[in-house]
Amino acid sequence: MVKPLAKNTKMEKRKGPVMLVIMDGVGYGKYEEGDGFKAALTPNLDALMSEWPTVSMKAHGTAVGLPSDDDMGNSEVGHNAIGCGRVFAQGAKLVSNSIASGAMFEGDTWKKLTGNCAEKGSTMHFIGLLSDGNVHSHIDHLKQMIIKAKEAGVKKVRVHALLDGRDVGETSALEYFDPFEDFCRELSTDGFSARIASGGGRMVITMDRYGANWNMVKLGWETHVLGEGRSFANPHEAIETLRAETEAIDQDLPPFVIAEDGKAVGTVEDGDAVVFFNFRGDRALEITKAFEAGDDFSEFDRKRCPSVEYAGMMEYDGDLHIPAQYLVSPPAIDRTMGEYLAASGVKSFAISETQKYGHVTYFFNGNKLGKFDEKLETFEEILSDVVPFEQRPWMKCADITDRVLEVVESGEYDFIRMNFPNGDMVGHTGVFPAVVCSMEALDLCIGRLKKAVEAAGGVMIVSADHGNSDDMYEHDKKTGAVKTNENGKPKAKTAHSLNPVPCIVYDPAGKGEYKTELKEGLGISSLAATTLEFLGFEAPEGYDSSVLNYK
């Protein structure tokens, strides 16, 4: 339990609520071409940035707890940083450190899984995203685990590899699959066998989140576990064939099964071990539930549920302890802004649509699924449409705004936080016109919120968790020129960017307590202290500095 916050003596609390608006995936682009945010008509945001205190903030790499500044930020670590006001070592870094030190392989879970397979002569399966995107997983982690599994006496490894095309190039799958197949062949000596057994696009199978589309998990189960689906002799043939037939980018490629003599090479059977090797939790929970829920599972007909030793790369839900077994402990995030506000009697309202609802609640509260105080906190989810985001790029931003305007008018809440997913979810599609549309829809909503904040005498802080919509084309790193595809058109980029994000302070009731020039060089973790100061409190000891420069 934390103590109530001390009063901020430098600035008087405003009459209205403090509103934190997180524009998911919206940053300051490095290149003019391909910057969907800059290309959009955004008069409301333009006015805010030109007329009100604005500064750029770091939202990637070490600023959000990732191993290096070559690592893209993401929504999970971004909301962790925003919500807890400091930087914690995050999933990718924790896993890399655990592998490098050997701690993972000395752990009870790893020994139990490998020992099970070595003793029974059963198969060890690895399911996850095969890329070096370092947002959900990293291929190097998988390679090290396979090497160590062989050393531990496991004789058979099967990999169920999900295509990325989202945190890496949209059609880069063979850059990972082909060398990985070579790696498996070279390692398959002395009675040891490793190979890819199934696959499919991450936005088609297995990696659903927040219960948005359980059919994805059903397809993943049928593909990975049951070995059902269209079969191919090898992954290269599968990817090239399906790509030619569907013209889909990697993340949208249909599922496939690798088979020999008409039989799948890697079905999951009783006595096997299964590791879901993604370290990020949101898209790991549902497939984990399918393995662990037993007879209580009702989301789809699993047809057959093998008895296996299952483990996740990390504990994906610290409150519900999911999964029961995991290889690396997640960061222990404490003293979050939400906990302090609850201890201080502040009423809070959090809202987003399904795609980012967990980010503005679970991740914002330090990977805590529940609430700190049921009476003081309200969480509201607007159900997302189950359609490709490029077909409805405005998503639910208007619905979120409608509800927030009602909340502001009610006067019931001191702190309102929201996430608009448009810039990220539409940005991942790689469809530039859709991204521009999504930004313009978002801007209309910002304009509506601005009027409501002014009428209520409140404060609106507009920022983001990472970039994406601001960098929609692949660029040559040396020349900056846009890369083109075989048709001479710009090559779409579907991954997050390394760009900084805006921090805009709209404070129409301000009394000049702070300078119009905000502090520079800070990361998005500083949004917590900034928010707390506007709520009338001093930031807790150890929190990263507010952006406010007091006079």
Band the pLDDT of 353: cuts 50, 70, 90.
very high
pLDDT at 88 over 70: yes
Band the pLDDT of 528: cuts 50, 70, 90.
very high
Rounded to an integer, the average pLDDT of 32-45 is 97
Inter-residue contact 256 to 230 (CB < 8 Å)? yes
Rounded to an integer, the average pLDDT of 145-152 is 98
Q: Note whether 21-89+333-534 and 92-328 share their fold.
A: no
Nearest to 172 by CA among 497, 493, 496, 466: 493
pLDDT for residue 214: 96
pLDDT at 543 over 80: yes
- Summarised one tens digit per residue, pLDDT across range 495-525 is 889 999 999 999 999 999 999 999 999 999 9
Going by the annotation, the residues of the binding site are 24, 75, 136, 166-167, 202, 209, 280-283, 356, 424, 428, 465-466, 496
CATH architecture of 21-89+333-534: 3-Layer(aba) Sandwich (3.40)
pLDDT at 331 over 80: no
Structure tokens, 332: 């222990």
Going by the annotation, the residues of the binding site for Mn(2+) are 24, 75, 424, 428, 465-466, 496
Choosing from 50, 75, 198, 497, which is the catalytic residue? 75
* 3-state SS assignment for residue 173: helix
Going by the annotation, the residues of the binding site for substrate are 136, 166-167, 202, 209, 280-283, 356
Average per-residue pLDDT for the chain: 95
Report how far apart, in Å, the C-alpha atoms of 404 and of each of 23, 93, 327 are: 15, 36, 40
> How far apart (Å, rounded) are the C-alpha atoms in residues 538 and 525?
15
Nearest to 233 by CA among 256, 252, 250: 256
Rounded to an integer, the average pLDDT of 398-414 is 98
Return the axis-axis angle of helices 173-187 and 235-246, rounded to nearest 10°. Answer: 160
pLDDT at 369 over 90: no
Residue 514: φ, ψ to 5°: -130, 160
pLDDT for residue 92: 85
Task: Choose the CATH number for 92-328 among 3.40.50.2300, 3.50.50.60, 3.40.50.300, 3.40.1450.10.
Answer: 3.40.1450.10
Query: In sequence order, which ranges of 22-74 are alpha helices (DSSP H)?
Result: 36-39, 43-51
**Comparing 235-244, 316-325, 459-468, which segment has the lowest mean pLDDT?**
316-325
Nearest to 144 by CA among 271, 152, 310: 152
Band the pLDDT of 318: cuts 50, 70, 90.
low
The residue extents of the domains of the chain are: 21-89+333-534, 92-328
Return the axis-axis angle of helices 526-534 and 75-84, rounded to nearest 10°. Answer: 40
Inter-residue contact 536 to 8 (CB < 8 Å)? yes
Band the pLDDT of 110: cuts 50, 70, 90.
very high
pTM for this model (two decimals) = 0.74
> How far apart (Å, rounded) are the C-alpha atoms in residues 149 and 275?
12
Inter-residue contact 277 to 224 (CB < 8 Å)? no
> Measured in Å, how far apart are the chain's first and last C-alpha atoms?
34
- Summarised one tens digit per residue, pLDDT across range 68-81 is 788 888 898 999 99
Inter-residue contact 272 to 204 (CB < 8 Å)? no
Burial grade of 432 (CB within 10 A; 0-12, 13-18, 19 or more):
buried
Q: Where are the extended beta strands (E) located within 92-185?
A: 123-129, 156-163
> How far apart (Å, rounded) are the C-alpha atoms in residues 111 and 150?
12
Inter-residue contact 32 to 38 (CB < 8 Å)? yes
pLDDT at 319 over 60: no
Q: How far is CA 520 from the centre of its chain?
A: 26
- Other beta carbons within 10 angstroms of residue 332's beta carbon come to 9
Nearest to 403 by CA among 386, 385, 381: 381
What proportion of the chain, given as a percentage, has pLDDT over 70? Answer: 99
* 3-state SS assignment for residue 6: coil
The question of whether 525 is a catalytic residue gets the answer: no
- Summarised one tens digit per residue, pLDDT across range 173-223 is 999 999 999 999 999 999 999 999 999 999 999 999 878 899 999 999 999
